[in-house]
Chains A and B, each alone.
Chain A
Amino acid sequence: MSDQINDSRRNFLSKAAIAGSITIAPGVFLHQTAQAKSDDQAVSSNTRWGMLIDTDKCSKGCTDCVDACNNEHSLTGFDRPTTDAQYIRKVSLVEKQTGHEISLPMMCQHCETAPCVDVCPTGASFKREDGLALVDKHICIGCRYCMMACPYKARSFVHEEIKNQTLSAPRGKGTVESCTMCVHRIDKDGIPACVEACTEENHNAMIFGDLNDPNSTISQELKKHGGKQIRADLRLNTGVRYQGL
């Protein structure tokens, strides 16, 4: 008898716990969402977004990151390679002295002192507090001086009318654009599309994170194994670092 009572009590308690969890869970979830930056909240320099790329894990011929980026930003080409936009590209390197081969993705390096920002006459090229180098397409006059100034050839000019744009990554004919590190995802606590694709396909060649947070995976990895800047001689303090170079 008492066992029966205990059983029904147990059943009641476990069902109540499940029901309670279901009731409370959205609250917990909402609470977590509230931790993400709201649209009107300014970004802070306490964060510096960056990327670390392990070239040893980046295989030649793999374009998963490029495909993901093109898809994310609707970078459908016009089959005109010289004028089609490329935010990220795969670069193959062969060291002249040794013949050592390296494959790596190349995109905007989100420099701390970005030459594109320095030269832009209207301030359309700008740095966000969290380290992202972006283009304000409302005041870009299409002079292309930033493209002359970028040491990484990271920028593209929109050479023709764009159709079927995505809402999150607007583009405009006659203005300049480049990798935004998927700012629209970052602001919603997401990660860049290229990193996501690389991880999902189990290549794990790209790590995204906060360079200012000593406990972030990227900072820990950089502390442990280091990471090089491309054209470090220019001392631009890039947000994208490479291993295996």
Chain B
Amino acid sequence: MKKIEYTKIKGQSLAYYGLLAGLGFMILMGLLATWYMEHNGHYVTGMSNQIVWGMPHVFAVFLIVAASGALNVASIASVFGKKIYDPLSRLSALLAIALLAGGLVVLLLDLGRPDRLIVAITTYNFKSIFAWNIILYTGFFAIVGGYLWMMMDHNMHQFKKKVGLAAFVWRLVLTTGTGSIFGFLVARSAYDAAIMAPMFVIMSFSFGLAIFILVLMAAYNWTGRELGDAVIARLRNLLGVFVASVLYITTVYHLTNLYITEHHGVEQFILRDGGIYTNLFWIGQVLVGGLIPLALIYAPGVKNCRKTLGLISTMIIIGGLCQMYVIIIGGQAYPMEIFPGYEVSSSFFDGIVNQYAPTLPEIILGLSGMAVSLLLVTFMIKVLSFLPTSLADSVTDPHAK
């Protein structure tokens, strides 16, 4: 394997500045949406006292989960010693930080009192998995930031592997924590399951890699740098394993619930009678986000087709957002079983499927989180040397282990 040369991108083209301006505009729109929602109060959103977490959380949790997944490429190089992934490590770590930042911005701006950020990071209830997550997020920035330093400073290379291992362990704990936000909820039938934590870990592998592949291909395509088939083939195969794993754990989750009588109601709701949630599950999550990408990844005719891989990655992201929507919104839409065995009615919407329709400001806020992530990456690869000058097959050496 040749010595890898990293260079900053030039970033002087009109297209580059256009991209920055476009992402900046999206962020501005997100801030305006936040101002509108916070100024009026949350009643102007689709959220209510029944659906308390809405579209912003779908985007925020998706980005946070994808963040830890984006770090996988670096982990495979440093922890598992696969050298072909080594040149991708810097971008992997940068994207991980950027995605987490984007997700947290959305989460923060949807709080009832975002002005109390200082309270959130200084006042802890250590029994709360949410509080632990705040610590895990902060730690993730610090450790992955340190990891980048070890990678980018030649004098610190000797520590790269150890810090990489720490980052890998930290990211596993982080996604376990994110999944446990739902797993620890005893109140609602759709959650309250230990499998939520490993499910989120596996989802992170898939979503994070899909975003990584898109960013990598875009960066190399738009800067005219060479990106060899060897790297792409590896990433494509890895993506196939991750997509299959998500389908597997989703199956296990639903099979378990189908076996347990008290969960039959929520399963019928998600899998059969839930309307939008059932459609998003079968068409969005399973078909668009799972089966079709899986078929395309292993289809012989399009093996080296970059456009197909781009399509596959996009489908996985759309499927991932659908999965988050089904988990977060669908889980709340299903009526809480406070009185099992009774038909329930009240002025507070007991016993009926809760309605939710996302409003435009919520969607804009969510998308602006994605824009924050992409803006950070776009800007940072111009400022520091994150990208190898070439990832041609001759540079990355596909036979090196």
- Seen from chain A, the residues whose Cβ lies within 8 Å of a Cβ on chain B are 78, 80-86, 89-97, 102, 106, 115, 117-123, 139-145, 147-153, 155-161, 173-176, 230-231, 234
Check B131 against A159 for contact (C-beta < 8 Å): no
Asked if residues A144 and B112 are in contact (CB atoms below 8 Å), the reply is: yes
Asked if residues A139 and B185 are in contact (CB atoms below 8 Å), the reply is no
Smallest distance from the beta carbon of A87 to chain B beta carbons, Å?
Answer: 10
Contact of A161 among B41, B114, B133 (CB under 8 A): B41
Contacting pair A122 B123 (CB below 8 A): yes
Name the distance in Å between A3's Cβ and chain B's nearest Cβ.
72
B58 to chain A, nearest CB (A): 14
Q: Would you call A91 and B350 a contact (CB within 8 A)?
A: yes
Q: Chain A residue with minimal CB distance to B336?
A: A153
Q: Are B124 and A123 in contact (CB under 8 A)?
A: yes
Closest to B356 in A: A82
Quick one: which of A81, A141, A155, A176 has the most chain B CB within 10 A? A141
From A92, A123, A139, A173, B112 is in contact (CB under 8 Å) with: A173
B185 engages A149 (CB within 8 Å): yes
Residues of A within 8 A of B347 (CB): 81, 86, 89-90
Give the chain A neighbours of B113 by CB distance below 8 A: 140-142, 174-175
Known: A144-B53, A150-B187. Is A121-B134 also a contact (CB below 8 A)? yes
Interface of B is mostly: loop
Beta-carbon contact of B125 and A142 below 8 Å: no
B185 touches A174 (CB 8 A): no
Among listed B42-50, B81-89, B97-105, B143-151, interface-contacting one: B42-50
What's the Cα separation between A147 and B349 when bound, in Å? 14
The verdict on B338 contacting chain A, using a C-beta distance below 8 Å, is: yes
Q: Nearest 4 CB-CB pairs, A to B?
A: A142-B112, A174-B112, A160-B41, A82-B48
A96 and B53 within 8 A (CB):
no
Docked CA distance A160–B186 (Å): 29
Identity of the chain A residue whose Cβ is nearest the Cβ of B182 in the assembled complex: A148
Please give the distance in Å from B92's CB to the nearest CB on chain A.
29
Q: How far is the CB of B197 from chain A (nearest CB, A)?
A: 15
Contacts of A94 in B (CB 8 A): 342-343
**Distance in Å from the Cβ of A236 to the closest Cβ of chain B?**
9
Residues of B within 8 A of A122 (CB): 119-120, 123-125, 131
Q: B208 to nearest A CB, angstroms?
A: 24
* CB-based contact A141/B129 at 8 Å: no
- B165 contacts chain A at the CB level, 8 A cutoff: no
Are A118 and B187 closer than 8 Å at their CB atoms? no
B339 at the interface (CB under 8 A from A): yes
Shortest Cβ distance from A122 into chain B, in angstroms? Answer: 4
